[in-house]
Amino acid sequence: MYESLAIVGATGAVGRIILALLEEREFPIERVKFLASKRSAGGPITFRGRQHLIEELTPTAFAGIDLAIGSTPDEVARDFAPAAVKAGAVVIDESGYWRMDPQVPLVIPEVNPEAVDDHRGIIASPNCSTTQMVQALKPLHDAARVRRVIVSTYQATSGAGLSGSRELEEGTRAEIAGEKYKYETFTHPIAFNLIPQIGSPKQQGYTSEEIKMVRETRKILGDETILVCPTCVRVPVANCHSESILVETERKLSVDEARELFAATPGLVVVDDLDAKQYPMPRTCEGRNETFIGRIREDLSSPNGLAFWCVSDNLRKGAATNAVQIAELLVSRARQAAVAR
């Protein structure tokens, strides 16, 4: 059973939401440890009405810990996860470092919950842009087998961390005031602008963010034949990623059938009434744990094509919520195993 939990990166944007979700969802844990960088260690943090001390993340910090949820840069996850596993903890990692490791399951609880049973100490949570897309693809794939996906993302600045959100706000103020602003997180001004590059150049003109969507989608759905063509764009929106998705399936899906499949899938919410101007938007989806689907329509250029619009809070379902759901899944699995014994 899981009785002790460590939150790694507790002071970051995602870490703070993880704490809030653990409280909101009354996660069953007896002892919680809060870990962060040396710079943040020693400071206070409030959880469940009590003040706790933030401890420095070190290889020895996981003694007595059963479960760890980490939201850190790749290079930190590379080092802390094996140390935590060696100490006896199961690690749920938000970074990109472990996602494509063949020995590490990549999990969205609504999509492939059974994958957690194959973990060897580390469970990876997918990239935020992948998570919402694969959630939407899953019911279509089960019903008619997805063959090809063309996706364009409109990704919020919060996806670049606290500094990304700060630069959007400060850069916009400077732009309106006619002042110059020095961007450090973004390579170009984000205020009143779009940046069609997220991540580093990778292969054949695609960026690291785009390649993640290709590889992670195939791994989560367990189908290496799915073709994915992504274009990832940073937009001047504070929070929530939006995606325009075009899917080609082996069997034709009607709009009505697709709508029914989406509506019947846990974690998905359909908001789709063009006449009434009702569809998902970042302003209406922020702070929610679900993924929202709208603008469902047939592809005019392909007989088996379906187009739709998808919005999700990238800090929640794209990161914190998915990690907490994996933790809940582990606890549930452990309880079921205990009863079976």
- Catalytic residue ranges: 128, 241
Rounded Cα–Cα distance for residues 167 and 165 (Å): 6
What residues pair up with 229 in beta bridges, in sequence order?
A: 150
Structure tokens that stand for 189 in this block: 């001004």
Structure tokens that stand for 174 in this block: 């400077």
Measured at the CA of 233, the angle between CA 231 and CA 238, to 5 degrees, comes to 145
Contacts 24+ apart (CB under 8 A), 279-283: 279/309, 280/242, 280/309, 280/310, 280/311, 281/242, 281/311, 282/156, 282/237, 282/238, 282/239, 282/240, 282/242, 282/311, 283/240
What residues pair up with 110 in beta bridges, in sequence order?
A: none
DSSP β-ladder status, 44-47 and 227-234: unpaired
Per-residue burial over 61-73, b = 16 or more CB atoms within 10 Å of its CB, e = otherwise: bbeebbbbbbbbe
Is the sign of the CA dihedral 175, 186, 181, 315 positive or negative?
positive
Question: Do residues 77 and 323 touch, judged by C-beta distance below 8 A?
Answer: no
E strand or H helix at 131: helix 128-144
Rounded Cα–Cα distance for residues 6 and 153 (Å): 33
